[in-house]
Structure 1
Amino acid sequence: MSGERNGHVEKSTVLIPQVKFTKLFINGEFVDSISGKSFETIDPRSEEVIAKVAEGDKADVDLAVKAAREAFDHGPWPRLPGSERRRIMLKFADLIEQNLEELAAIDTIDAANLYSLGKILFINNAIELFRYYAGAADKIHGETLKMSRQLHGYTLLEPVGVVGHIIPWNFPTQMFSMKVAPALAAGCTMVVKPAEQTPLSALFYAHLAKLAGVPDGVINIVTGFGPTVGAAISSHMDIDMVSFTGSTATGHRIMQAAATSNVKQVCLELGGKSPFIVFDDVDVDKIAPLALNACLFNQGQICVAGTRLFIQEGIYDKFVARLLEELKTWVVGDPFDPNVNQGPQVDKKQFERVLSYIELGKKEGATLLTGGKPLERKGYYIEPTIFTDVTDDMTIAQEEIFGPVMSIMKFKSMEEAIKRANNIKYGLAAGVMTNNLDTANTVSRSIKAGSIWINCYFAFDNDAPIGGYKMSGFGKDMGMDALHKYLHVKSIATPIYNSPWL
C-alpha cells in the first residue's frame, strides 16, 4: 500500500483516482468562481486534503440560474420529444457505467462510502435510476376529461421549470441521481449544490452529462456552502422549485426562504430516527444481523437508519447476546478494504458530533454496552456503539445522531411498541420483524412513517417512493411520484356547441 498523493495512489490493488474536476460547472463549461475562492475537500480516512474546489457564492448562483433559465425558456431540452430525452439519458447512464470504478473510488475518498459496495451497489443504483427515468421520459401523458358541462377538456403535464437541487453528503452519487434523473426526464433544467463535504463526484457527473449530449445550461453545478450557495438557491426569484435532502433545521430555513421569495415549490426529505421493532416470534439468528446492519450501514450515516431497536421482552436477552456475537465480526477500517464493514465518519465536525451524543447518552443514564470511543488511528473512525437501558425521553432516543450508535429498548405488547415507535417527531421509515401476518399488517398501518419494511430493511427500489411524515418532510423521491413532482398539471377546456352526445 504505497504511492504518491499527487498522482494515482495504489491501495489494496485499487488505483486512487487523480481528481480531474474542481471548478464550477455553469452553462456547459467548467469555470472558476467569480471571487476566485476555493475550499478544501478532505479525505476522512486520512484527514488529508484531496483537492481544492471552487467556492461558489450568490453571484455564481445568479450565473447558473441565468443559464438554467435560458435553457428552459428558449433551449431545446423541455421541447425535445420524450424519446430524444430518453436517448440522451440512456447514453448518460452508459457513460456512468464506463467510469464506474473511478466514480466509486471518488466517493470512497470523498465520502468514505465502502468501495466494494460502491462498485456493486451505489454506482449501479445510479445507473439503473437514470435508465428507469429515461424509460419514463416519453410516457408523460395528460388525461382526457369527461366534463359535466358542454366542454371538451384535457390536461397537459409540463415541466415545473428551473429546479434547485441541494443534496447531502452521505451518498453523493445516489443522491445526485435521485434528484437529477427524474427532473431531466420531466424536461426541467437545474442548479445543483452538492454538499461541501463531498463535491467531487457531482462535478464528474456534469462532465459525463455534457459528453452524453445534455444541452448547455440544463445541468449546472455550484459547489460551496449552505449559508451562501444553498441560501441563494432557496431564495432565488428565478428558481421554480427546490428539492432538498438533509437536516430538519436546514429544511425549515429552505421553506422560509422559498415562502418569502417567489413562493416556489419545495420538496423536503429530512431527518429520521427510525424504529426497528422485533417481536418474539422471529428467528433471532436471522434478524440480529439485519438489525445491526440497519443501524451501522454507511457508518450510521443514512437518514432511515434503524437506530431505535425495540425488542420484545421474551427474547430480549437472547437477542442482545446474539447482537454482540454478530458485532464481533464487524470490521472498522479503510473503506477500500473489501473486508471492512464500516469506514470513518465523513468529516471532523460529524466525528465530534457523534462522540458528543455518546457522552450525552452516558450522562443521561443509558448503559454503554459496547464501543463509544474513537479508534486510535488517523481518520474519523468511531467504534460501533450500543446503549441499553435507554428510555424514550433520552436525547439519544429522540435526536438523529447520524453515526454508528444504537439505542436498545424493551417492550411488552404490540400496542406499547406502536405507541413508543410513534413517540418521536420524525416519521421517515420503520422495520417490523415478525412472522405473524396480523401483527405485521397492524403495526405497518399504525406506524406514522413513509416507508415500512417487514422482515427486511433498506428495501429500496426504483419503483418505490420514499419520503417522510411529520418532521421528516414531504414530497417523494424515487418511483413515478418523483417524476410527477417535477411536472405541472395544466387543464385545458374548449366549448362544444349543440352536441347531441352531451
Structure 2
Amino acid sequence: MLDHQGWKSRAAGLSFRNKAFIDGRFVDAVSGRVFDSINPATGEVLAQVAECDGADIDLAVAAGRRAFEDGRWSRMAPGARKAVMLKLADLIRANLEEMALLDSLDMGKLVTDAATIDAPGSAHFFQWYAEAIDKIYDEVAPTGPGDLALVRRVPLGVVGAVVPWNFPLDMATWKAAAALAAGNSVVLKPAEQSPLSALRLAELAAEAGVPDGVFNVVPGYGATAGKALGLHMDVDCLAFTGSTATGKLFMQYSGQSNLKQVWPETGGKSPNIIFADCEDLDVAADMAAFGIFFNQGEVCSANSRLYVERSVKDRLVEKLIARATAMQPGDPLDPASRMGAIVDEKQTQGIMRFVEAGKQTANLVAGGSRVTVNGKGCFVQPTIFDDVRHGDPLARDEIFGPVLSVIAFDSEDEAVRMANDSIYGLAASVWTDNLSRACRVSDRLHVGTVSVNTVDALSAQTPFGGMKQSGFGRDLSLHSLEKYTALKTVWIKYRT
C-alpha cells in the first residue's frame, strides 16, 4: 500500500474520463454543456464532465436496445459472457489504485478504504456474478403426458441504473454486474457528485470485451438525466439507490410512462441495540463507532441510532467518546487519517443544521464542529449526542453524516418498540450473549438485515435491501438476478 506521498504523487498523474460513454465510445453531451467535478477535501475542480440530459439518455437507450435485440450480449453463450466479466474483474484489480483514487478524490472517502474495500469489492462482485452465469438453471414444470412446460428466466432488455455518491464504484457494480450477468444492456447514471469511477469502469468493460452499446454511462443531474431515464418508454427496468424522496419519484415515473419495473433501495436510520448481557463492551464500542463513522457516516445502513440498556449506557458512552476523539478527519489521501471529507458543501451544511439543532435538545458529548484540513475542505468531526429523545429529529431523520444519537432503554420490549418506530427498515444490529434473545429480537425487528454482535454485515451471497420506506429492491446474492429477469413459460404439446 502506498504512503501519503505515494498517493499524492499517483493522484497528480491521473487523467480523468469526462465524457459520456455511449455505444462503445466517449462522446460529448448533445448540448455541449459540462459541470464541475469537485474534490470536497480541497475545493479544487478535478474535471469538467459532460452534462447529459434527455437527448443523451435517448441515444444511450437506443444503443442498449440495438445491442439487446441483435443478441451480441443477450444471446452470447453463457461461458463466453462469463469470460468477459471475469476479465473485467481482473482489469479492476489491475487498476485498483486508480479506481480507489477516483472515488477518494471525487467524493472524499479515505483512499485506504477505497483501496482495501471498495475497489476490491467491485472486482469481487463482478467475478461472483460472472461465476453464476453458467450455474443458473431454468425449470420444467410438472405436467401430464404430451405436455412439456418450460419455465425460463430471460433478460428484460434495457436496464436503467441510477446510483448514489457514497460508494460510487461499488453501487455501480452492484447494479451493473447482476444486470449484465443476466444478459441485459445497461444505461448507468452516476451521481453528479461522483461520476469519474463509473466512466473509467465503462472503459475497462469495453477493454474486457463487453460489446458496444451493452454498457453505457451517462453523467448528469438527477432532475434531467435521471428523470429522463425514469420516464423513458424503452427502459424495461429502473434500479435505484438513493433517498426515499427520489425513490418515490421513480415509482411515479414508472406509472407515467411504460410501467417499467422499479427497484428502489432508499433511506435508512438503522438502530443498534446493545444489551447489558453483551460481555465485551469494547468490541461493541469499536463496532458502534465503525457503524456510524465509517465513510463519514455517509452510508444508507449506518447504525445512527444507538439504543443501550441503561445499566451499561454510561460506560459505553465513555468508550465511544474515546473512539470518536481518535477518529478526527484528515486528508483522505493520508493513510494515517481516520475519516475523510463530506461529499460536498450542500451535504456538509445539511449535517451541520442537524448538529446545531441537536445542541439545543440533547447532550453533545463529542465533536459537533465543522473543521478544515490544511485550511480547506468539507469536514465534520465525529459527533455523539447522548440523552436523545426518541422523537427528536436526531433520532428520526436520516442525517447521512457522522452523527450518533444515544438513547437508553430499560427492557427488551422497549428497545424493540423504539427500534421499529421508524419509517425506515433497512438494517439493524443486536448485541447480546444470550442466543435466545438474539434470535427473539432479530425475529421482531422489521428490517432487511439484522446483524448480531457485529454491524452492517453483507456479502455477495446474501441479499441487501430493506422494508418500509427503505424500499423493496434487493442487491447482491442470486436473488438480485430476479430483478433483471422475467419468467417466461414455453408450453409444448407433443405426440405421445
TM-score range, shorter chain: over 0.9
Given the alignment, which residue of 254, 257, 269 partners 1:258? 254
Distance 1:125 1:10 in 2: 23
Distance 1:10 1:339 in 2: 13
Partner of 2:334 in structure 1?
337
Distance 2:11 2:469 in 1: 42
Given the alignment, which residue of 394, 397, 400 partners 2:395? 397
What is the CA distance between 1:14 and its match in structure 2? 4.5
Moved more, 67-76 or 187-196: 67-76
For 1:180-195, what aligned pairs fall within 5 Å after superposition? Answer: 180-195=176-191
Counterpart residue identity of residue 167, structure 1 = V
What is the CA distance between 1:13 and its match in structure 2? 5.8
Structure 1 residue 362 corresponds to structure 2 residue 359: yes
Partner of 1:477 in structure 2?
475
For 1:44-59, what aligned pairs fall within 5 Å after superposition? Answer: 44-59=40-55
Structure 1 residue 298 corresponds to structure 2 residue 295: yes
Secondary structure, aligned partner of 1:78: coil
Question: In the comparison of the two structures, how many residue pairs are matched?
Answer: 489
Distance 1:170 1:52 in 2: 20
Counterpart residue identity of residue 176, structure 1 = A
Specify every segment of 5 or more residues in structure 2 that has no aligned partner in the other structure, as ranges: none
Moved more, 259-268 or 321-330: 321-330
Given the alignment, which residue of 261, 266, 272 partners 2:268? 272
Distance 1:316 1:16 in 2: 47
What is the CA distance between 1:388 and its match in structure 2? 1.2
Counterpart residue identity of residue 64, structure 2 = A
Conserved 8 A contact 2:90-2:123: yes
Partner of 1:29 in structure 2?
25
What is the CA distance between 1:122 and its match in structure 2? 1.0
What is the CA distance between 1:75 and its match in structure 2? 3.6
Structure 1's 12 and 236: CA in aligned 2 closer, same or farther, altered over 3 A?
closer
Moved more, 145-154 or 215-224: 145-154
Distance 1:493 1:285 in 2: 60
Counterpart residue identity of residue 342, structure 1 = M
Structure 1 residue 70 corresponds to structure 2 residue 76: no
Distance 1:91 1:148 in 2: 45
Distance 1:313 1:425 in 2: 25
Moved more, 477-486 or 162-171: 477-486
Moved more, 462-471 or 147-156: 147-156
Given the alignment, which residue of 140, 148, 155 partners 1:152? 148
Distance 2:230 2:257 in 1: 8
Partner of 1:350 in structure 2?
347
RMSD, aligned α-carbons: 1.3
Moved more, 61-70 or 455-464: 455-464
Secondary structure, aligned partner of 1:134: helix
Structure 1's 379 and 144: CA in aligned 2 closer, same or farther, altered over 3 A?
same
1:147-200 superposed Cα distances (whole Å, 9 cap, x missing partner): 268632121110011000000000111101101001111000011000000000
Distance 1:19 1:234 in 2: 31
Secondary structure, aligned partner of 1:473: coil
Partner of 1:143 in structure 2?
139
> Percent identity at matched positions?
43
What is the CA distance between 1:226 and its match in structure 2? 0.3
Counterpart residue identity of residue 172, structure 2 = F
Distance 2:7 2:95 in 1: 19
Distance 2:483 2:490 in 1: 20
Counterpart residue identity of residue 307, structure 1 = S
Secondary structure, aligned partner of 2:406: strand
What is the CA distance between 1:107 and its match in structure 2? 0.8
Distance 1:492 1:368 in 2: 63
Given the alignment, which residue of 189, 192, 197 partners 1:196? 192
Partner of 2:80 in structure 1?
84
Distance 1:178 1:381 in 2: 28
1:17-52 superposed Cα distances (whole Å, 9 cap, x missing partner): 423310011100100111100000100110111110
Partner of 2:409 in structure 1?
411
What is the CA distance between 1:435 and its match in structure 2? 0.4
Structure 1 residue 122 corresponds to structure 2 residue 118: yes
Secondary structure, aligned partner of 1:375: strand
Distance 1:11 1:207 in 2: 23
Moved more, 31-40 or 330-339: 330-339
Secondary structure, aligned partner of 2:49: strand
Structure 1 residue 102 corresponds to structure 2 residue 98: yes
Distance 2:217 2:324 in 1: 40
Q: Normalising to structure 2: TM-score of the pair?
A: 0.96
Distance 1:148 1:280 in 2: 60
Partner of 2:158 in structure 1?
162
Given the alignment, which residue of 434, 439, 442 partners 2:440? 442
Secondary structure, aligned partner of 2:371: coil
Partner of 2:305 in structure 1?
308
Counterpart residue identity of residue 336, structure 2 = N
Counterpart residue identity of residue 49, structure 1 = V
What is the CA distance between 1:139 and its match in structure 2? 2.1
Given the alignment, which residue of 308, 319, 322 partners 2:319? 322
Conserved 8 A contact 2:321-2:365: no
What is the CA distance between 1:285 and its match in structure 2? 1.4
Structure 1 residue 374 corresponds to structure 2 residue 370: yes
Structure 1's 402 and 148: CA in aligned 2 closer, same or farther, altered over 3 A?
farther
What is the CA distance between 1:368 and its match in structure 2? 1.4
Distance 2:434 2:309 in 1: 14
Conserved 8 A contact 1:331-1:339: no
Conserved 8 A contact 1:17-1:102: no
What is the CA distance between 1:112 and its match in structure 2? 1.4
1:258-286 superposed Cα distances (whole Å, 9 cap, x missing partner): 11100000100000000000000111112
Distance 1:210 1:40 in 2: 25
Structure 1's 49 and 12: CA in aligned 2 closer, same or farther, altered over 3 A?
closer
Conserved 8 A contact 1:140-1:157: no
Counterpart residue identity of residue 414, structure 2 = E
For 1:459-474, what aligned pairs fall within 5 Å after superposition? Answer: 459-474=457-472
Q: Normalising to structure 1: TM-score of the pair?
A: 0.95
Conserved 8 A contact 2:108-2:340: yes
Counterpart residue identity of residue 251, structure 2 = M
Conserved 8 A contact 1:83-1:138: yes
Secondary structure, aligned partner of 1:138: helix
Counterpart residue identity of residue 286, structure 1 = V
Distance 2:454 2:366 in 1: 25
Partner of 2:127 in structure 1?
131
Conserved 8 A contact 1:19-1:51: no
What is the CA distance between 1:233 and its match in structure 2? 0.2
What is the CA distance between 1:484 and its match in structure 2? 2.0
For 1:228-247, what aligned pairs fall within 5 Å after superposition? Answer: 228-247=224-243
Distance 2:446 2:404 in 1: 21
1:434-455 superposed Cα distances (whole Å, 9 cap, x missing partner): 0000110011111000011000
Secondary structure, aligned partner of 1:61: helix
Specify every segment of 5 or more residues in structure 1 that has no aligned partner in the other structure, as ranges: 1-8
